[in-house]
Copies of this chain bind each other. A is one copy, B any other.
Amino acid sequence: MLLVHIFYLVLVKSIFVHSESFTSTTHLTHLFNTEVELSKQLQSYLKVEYERLDRIEKFLDVIKDEIRQAQGKEEIYFGNPVNAHLFIKHLTVDWYGIEEIVFDDTSKTMADNYLFPSYEDYTGSAVALMRLQDTYKLNTSEVANGEISTNYKSRKLSALECYDLGRIAYTNGDYYHTLMWMQEALDHLDKEINNTSPSRVDILDHLAFSTSQQGNHEHALVLTKEILRIAPDHVRAGSNKIYYEDLIQKKILNGNSDSSDFKSTPTIKKMDNINIKNQRPRDYLDEREKYEQLCRQNGSSINTKRQAKLFCRYRHNNHPYLILRPAKEEQLLDEPVIYLYHDTVRDNDIQVIKDIALPRVSINESIRDTYIERD
């Protein structure tokens, strides 16, 4: 069958006389390198592409899960500020990362036809979450683990989500909350199985800086040493270590070292650092304290004597219609006087009013000015 081979060449060549062609076995053998290289190139192309689609799919899974949970009960779902924050995060920073790896018109179609929250909404929702934390004196771990009591629970935050909250506080120069959330991020990172992001060094770096800003130089030194243990070449940590050691040395020499600062030596573990100083910045008016107290106050705090004065009654004010069907009045509070009228508007009518009003809701108030102005 060598003949077949030889005559195949002859025949093929007879067709392509005077023209370049690659049909001899020898030429095919050379072209074979093209195929081998093509196979390698496509293999790595597919690898990159599958990784890209995998990232998009992970994002899709997150928002599909959110949709499944919120659909049909949006009001109570978003009533939980953690859910609201995560939702805005998905449609802003998370989507920004996905948007740029979706190579077709999807991004443009969405941007042209649908409203998206802005980056400021994202940072705003984080700041709001932290203020709420202060107002209701909520423990960071409780917030991060979805343990605050609302109509709809939020899920446990990932180390990265805690870190991102800490980053927003850090960018705003709010080291009080940075310290809380970076400590929380570190805590979650240790418990996560795939703790690839954020890096431990990044968290420690932010944590060391914020704790030193809050006056805990010994704590900052411990954290900085931990950074250097993981990344011995970390330049800033290297110089910070000297800086903190210097500060502590001076404090001891000046006799300013207050042994009550730490009942125990600070470590990187959160549990051991209950005595770390973390003073809330005094950047707010005194009345905020009062307002926050009012927020925390609930019915049970009214004493029995005052409660005895509160009662329910039928009221008609001699109005002919109300004589036939008196209003059901309940006094909720004596100072200031607050009444609640039951069954005044029918459920159907309530719905109509809500439908008309909701699209126009645009509350415009300022707590600092202590008055609420409604459009």
Contacts and interface: CB of A to CB of B under 8 A. Distances in A.
Interface of A: 1, 3-5, 7-19, 21-39, 41-43, 45-46, 49-50, 53, 56-57, 59-60, 63-64, 66-67, 70-71, 74-75, 78-79, 81, 84, 87-88, 90-91, 95, 98, 102-104, 106, 109-110, 113-118, 120-121, 124-125, 127-128, 131-132, 135-136, 148-151, 295, 298, 358-359, 361, 363-368, 372
A37 B28 CA distance: 51
Q: Give the most central of A34, A70, A75, A372: most B CB within 10 Å.
A: A34
B115 A364 contact: no
Given A26-B361, A53-B53, A60 B39 contact: yes
26 contacts: A1-B150, A3-B298, A4-B150, A8-B81, A8-B128, A8-B132, A11-B128, A11-B131, A14-B365, A19-B120, A21-B117, A21-B120, A23-B121, A24-B363, A28-B84, A31-B87, A31-B88, A31-B115, A32-B67, A33-B114, A34-B114, A36-B67, A39-B64, A43-B60, A50-B53, A53-B53
Nearest to A21: B121
Contacts of A25: 74-75, 78-79, 84
- In this complex, which of A14, A24, A33, A136 has the most chain B Cβ atoms within 10 angstroms of its Cβ? A14
Nearest to A18: B364
B38 A110 contact: yes
Contacts of A149: 1
A63 B41 contact: no
Given A29-B75, A35-B63, A366 B17 contact: yes
Give the number of copies in the complex.
Answer: 2
Contact of A14 (B46, B60, B102, B367): B367
Given A7-B132, A23-B88, A41-B106, A364 B30 contact: no
Contact of A57 (B28, B46, B103): B46
Contacts of A71: 32, 36
A242 to B, nearest CB: 39
Contacts of A150: 1, 4-5
Given A46-B56, A75-B25, A124 B91 contact: no
B28 A78 contact: yes
A106 B13 contact: no
Contacts of A12: 124-125, 128
Contacts of A46: 53, 56-57, 60
A253 to B, nearest CB: 44
Contacts of A125: 12, 23
Contacts of A117: 21-23, 31
A28 B78 CA distance: 7
A295 B78 contact: no
B15 A124 contact: yes
Given A5-B150, A7-B132, A25-B78, 13 more contacts: A8-B84, A14-B368, A22-B118, A22-B121, A23-B124, A28-B87, A28-B88, A33-B114, A35-B87, A39-B64, A45-B102, A45-B106, A53-B53
